[in-house]
């Protein structure tokens, strides 16, 4: 049944392989998993080729991938790009360079998702990417749960630019009630509503420490594209996150930081990432 048409038959295997990969980095005495990982990847590739269809072929490029292993510290940094970054060459290299410059500890992973390509156009393309942000936000939540189940002390930090911030938001909502939390989340020019108080109140329960929201009033992409597509809604990339405070419910601290003086436009966040992250240390 796992390999019936339209079913992603190797999803469970990929998740097991990801957990094994995390284990070799953070849990002593399990280096033998590396061999299992390599054999499993070959098996996964063979099964996918044997049962190939367009949906599964597209799905193969999405998900978590290692970008850099800095040391064995129990920190997992997951970076998510935004709208129309699906086929970007050298994807996640800009994240890696900035995080390594900041002398980040642990491992850096990228999370690729179907955010659409520059060869596609039209408002439909935006709505397809938005829908995918929900689907893959749930998938990211599952990957985080898998990793922390195997390594409970693992500190997970999420970094999202533009629509990648919506993937993070959806992942945090999906984690609610799972008993699993991330350590911190960083949003850069986030293309997700800042006024949906109910959903933000839920999302903030899935973070142990803080959510950093970096926004710039120079962001014309959010002012024009987002406002038009989302019927006048205000994104977190243009202002402070609003949320309900419910008595007796623990939520993390929200740190809203105006980086208008540093960021001159929507595409300037990652090129100024080191300077921007310095503000999170204040």
- Indicate the helix (H) or strand (E) that contains 137: helix 123-150
Q: pLDDT tens-digit profile of 237-256?
A: 999 999 998 877 889 999 99
Q: Is the pLDDT of residue 61 over 50?
A: yes
Distance CA 206, CA 179 (A): 8
Residue 75 Cα distances to 34, 94, 106, 151, 182, angstroms: 19, 19, 5, 11, 11
Which range has the top average pLDDT, 18-27, 31-40, 65-74, 170-179?
170-179
Where do we find the tokens 């599964």?
A: 56
Other beta carbons within 10 Å of 103:
7
Cβ neighbors of 70 (< 8 A, separation 6 or more) are 100, 104, 105, 106, 107, 108
Better pLDDT: 36 or 187: 187
Give the contacts of 116 (CB within 8 A, at least 6 positions apart). Answer: 83, 84, 86, 125, 126, 128, 129
**Structure tokens given for 42:** 């070959």
Q: Is 186 exposed, middle or buried (0-12, 13-18, 19+ CB in 10 A)?
A: buried
**What pLDDT sits at residue 136?**
97
- Provide the pLDDT confidence category of residue 90 given band limits of 50, 70 and 90: confident
pLDDT above 50: residue 40: no
Structure-token pair, residue 192: 């997700």
The answer to pTM > 0.75 is yes
**Comparing 69-78, 97-106, 118-127, 272-281, which segment has the lowest mean pLDDT?**
118-127
Over residues 165-190, mean pLDDT: 97
Average pLDDT over residues 95-118: 90
């Amino acid at each position: 049944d796992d390999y019936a048409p339209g079913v992603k038959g190797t999803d469970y295997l990929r998740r097991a392989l990801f957990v094994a990969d995390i284990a070799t980095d953070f849990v002593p005495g399990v280096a033998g998993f590396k061999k299992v990982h390599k054999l499993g990847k070959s098996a996964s590739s063979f099964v996918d080729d044997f049962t190939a269809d367009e949906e599964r072929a597209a799905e193969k490029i999405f998900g978590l991938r290692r970008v850099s292993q800095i040391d064995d510290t129990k920190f997992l940094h997951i970076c998510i790009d935004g709208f129309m970054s699906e086929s970007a060459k050298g994807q996640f290299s800009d994240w890696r360079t900035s995080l390594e410059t900041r002398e980040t500890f642990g491992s850096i992973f990228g999370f690729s998702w179907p955010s659409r390509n520059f060869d596609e156009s039209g408002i439909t393309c935006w709505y397809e990417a938005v829908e995918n942000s929900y689907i893959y936000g749930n998938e990211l939540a599952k990957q985080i749960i898998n990793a922390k189940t195997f390594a409970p002390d693992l500190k997970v930090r999420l970094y999202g630019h533009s629509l990648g911030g919506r993937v993070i938001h959806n992942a945090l909502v999906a984690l609610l009630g799972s008993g699993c939390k991330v350590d911190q989340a960083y949003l850069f020019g986030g293309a997700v509503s800042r006024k949906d108080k109910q959903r933000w109140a839920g999302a903030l329960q899935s973070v142990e420490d803080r959510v950093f929201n970096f926004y710039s009033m120079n962001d014309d992409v959010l002012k024009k594209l987002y406002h038009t597509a989302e019927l006048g809604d205000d994104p977190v990339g243009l202002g402070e996150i609003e949320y309900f405070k419910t008595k007796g419910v623990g939520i993390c601290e929200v740190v809203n930081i105006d980086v208008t003086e540093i960021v001159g436009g929507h595409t300037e966040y990652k090129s100024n990432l080191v300077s921007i992250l310095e503000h999170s240390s204040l």
